[in-house]
Structure 1
Amino acid sequence: MSEIFSFDSAGIDPDEAFAQYRDLYASGADVERLPTPFFARVRSWRLDRTLLFSREYGGIRHQRRDRVVRDGFDHFVLHHVLDGELLGGPAGRSIPVRPGETLVLDTREPMESGAASVRLVTVSLARETMLAAIGATDDLHGHHIGRREGALLASLLRELVEQAAHLSPGSHAVVTRTLVDLLSLAIHPAGGPGRSDFYRQERVRREAVRCAIEAHITDADLSVQHIVGLTGISRAGLYRLLEPQGGVARFIQLCRLQHLRARLDDRAYDGRSLAELAPLSGLSGESHAGRLFKQFFSVSPGMYRVASIRGSQSPSVEAMSRRWDSCLYELR
């Protein structure tokens, strides 16, 4: 699993550490200090349109209020508490979330979360993933999952942060499918609605399309007809399936750009220019690749690579923030 960033306030002056943490989270939340002592330790990883965080913090509160309208976030967040107590929920209506419990929040809605001291697993999920799990997302903001109904989901989340560094990219689809199934069970213990089965099947079909594209990623002429032949999905069905992702051509572009991003994250490719890497992802050239990369991830390939290299050698808040921003952008 690809690591996005890690942050640890230990050994840093508390005021400076808080300023760094606040800047790190600036793209997603406003952070304020509480009267209790501040500390924070965070590690994060990227799966398939899913972000995973192992977090310990205290003396702070995160808020999303006015920024909800302007930042355009469109994903869900799960907070699963391991130790301590989280106070979180819709803005102004926080509830205590205790060990073994999970809180579901929708980034389209104002929210808040904070603690005097807490250790938790946080997962950011694309809306399509929640649809696959639940079938409808209108009433999920602030949903509280108790210890008993969320026990299996909790087991997966705890194990994920332990194994994250060892998971290969090929395992991501299996992990997200399992997460979808256990989240569905946690929210609907008696069985999910039929609509969620439809979205789940749609997700499996998208995975099949993605696998077909990735297997032929260097083929710049990969077409709709090729994908139809590789997957057995009809032409009309393919267009309907990928309409929420902006269409077939845009989905192919995203797969190519994710492949390119993986090369930019791989230090074995540091000696190769963008002009050399672009054809390996089926992109026509450096200029074309650069324009599309910035359009999709809101950062140029060159700046992304610099941030990735800095993150692996001498992490800075700016470098970590750039990488995180590009991952959050992908969830929209």
Structure 2
Amino acid sequence: MCYRGAGRHADRHGGVAGMASRRHRGGRMSELFAFDSSALVPGDAFEQYRQLYAQGADVEPLASPFFARVRSWRLDRYLLFAREFGGVRHYRSERIARDGFDHFVLHHVVSGELHGGRFGAPKTIKAGQTLVLDTREPMESGADAVQLITVSLAREAMRAAVGDVDGLHGHCISARHGALLTSVLRALVQQVADLAPAAHAAITRTLVDLLSVAINPVGSTARSDFYRQEHVRRHTVRRLVDAHIADASFSVQHILAATGMSRAALYRLFEPQGGVARFIQMCRLDQLRKRLDDRGCDRQSLAELAPTLGFSSESHAGRLFKQAFGISPGAYRTASGRGTQVSSVAMMVRLWDSALAEIM
């Protein structure tokens, strides 16, 4: 299976996925995966789409004709999708407990209408509006024909934007209140292929700020200010770790000395990520993933990359990478490196799972 830059649904709907696909392929960042039902045998298209989403949602056909085009990118603590689909409904109900998802999803409607929200009580989300969903809660979304920009966002980033996230599930951001946020999202979909990895954290901070304005147009609360400060501290530590990524001895002591934080405050800050040591390890793994994914990167072997990222050996890096992302570094590079198009739903699912692991 390959993603075609234009197809009958691109001509018919002319959506954000189509606009992004017309950009050149020479950017620094490759896609996470891409799916296009028009590239498939009609009888197989829905079943392959259902398999693609099976890890996170149940999918059922509607009376209207089915089509789907999806392009996706992994950035800093969020995933970005340009999507067009119709004749399909996605829902999460009984599977909530076993999935263990813990992030938020934003669906911005570019054109058409999305019927989504709380499971069993969907709203009609019109063009210009944005639906907010909490993956801890039962939900659904479907359409006869819709173009979306979807963002999967870490819970800590949503807390940084709004503070108290209780009651956000099913919230609809109006076109007026969300205008700045959605303008950036639309531009981001068109420019994402050209973004250097170093720009990702800055874009995340911008999206957090604009999401705060969209949901709390009258101003942030004391609680959101507290979470915003924690969010900034995490980014500060992340930049510190990245600056010393090649130093295998880099530890908690170095962070304490550089930031002036107390040990208790530092441990509390990274408790949701499994502790400071685990966070440092994930920073190393994320840098390895970016090196494997970056189209502008020389084709260094894993043996060459491992010591530059603080791993003790090639086997050490490979073992930790597969434990974290469910795929070996070699298989990941084959699937996503240097413009290679993902050719199977099974590989798309593995890449998607590895990406979700970073925002849980």
TM-score by length of 1: 0.94
- Tell me, in whole angstroms, the C-alpha distance in 2 between the residues paired with 1:40 and 1:180: 29
Structure 1 counterpart of 2:155, from 127, 144, 148: 127
Matched, 1:330 2:358: yes
Structure 2 counterpart of 1:186, from 214, 229, 248: 214
1:81-111 deviations in Å (ceiling 9; x for gaps): 0100000011101010000101000111111
Aligned to 2:10: none
Shift of 1:314: 5.5
Shift of 1:251: 0.6
1:15-57 deviations in Å (ceiling 9; x for gaps): 2111221111111111111111111111111111100001111
Q: Map of 1:1-332 to 2, 5 A cutoff?
A: 1-266=29-294, 268=297, 270=299, 272=301, 274-309=302-337, 312-313=340-341, 315-332=343-360
Cα 1:330–1:314, aligned 2, differ >3 Å: closer, same or farther?
Answer: closer
Shift of 1:114: 0.6
CA contact (8 A) 1:307 1:319 kept: yes
Shift of 1:303: 3.4
Shift of 1:316: 2.1
What's the secondary structure of 2:158's corresponding residue?
Answer: helix
- Tell me, in whole angstroms, the C-alpha distance in 2 between the residues paired with 1:243 and 1:152: 33
CA contact (8 A) 1:307 1:322 kept: no
- Tell me, in whole angstroms, the C-alpha distance in 2 between the residues paired with 1:12 and 1:311: 20
Shift of 1:239: 2.2
- Tell me, in whole angstroms, the C-alpha distance in 1 between the residues paired with 2:74 and 2:244: 23
CA contact (8 A) 2:326 2:350 kept: no
What amino acid does structure 2 have at the position aligned with 1:158? R
Q: Which runs of 5+ in 1 are unaligned?
A: none
Shift of 1:246: 1.5
Sequence identity (%): 66
Shift of 1:289: 2.1
What amino acid does structure 1 have at the position aligned with 2:196? S
Give the number of aligned pairs: 331
Cα 1:209–1:310, aligned 2, differ >3 Å: closer, same or farther?
Answer: closer
CA contact (8 A) 1:88 1:96 kept: yes
- Tell me, in whole angstroms, the C-alpha distance in 1 between the residues paired with 2:180 and 2:343: 35
Shift of 1:279: 1.5
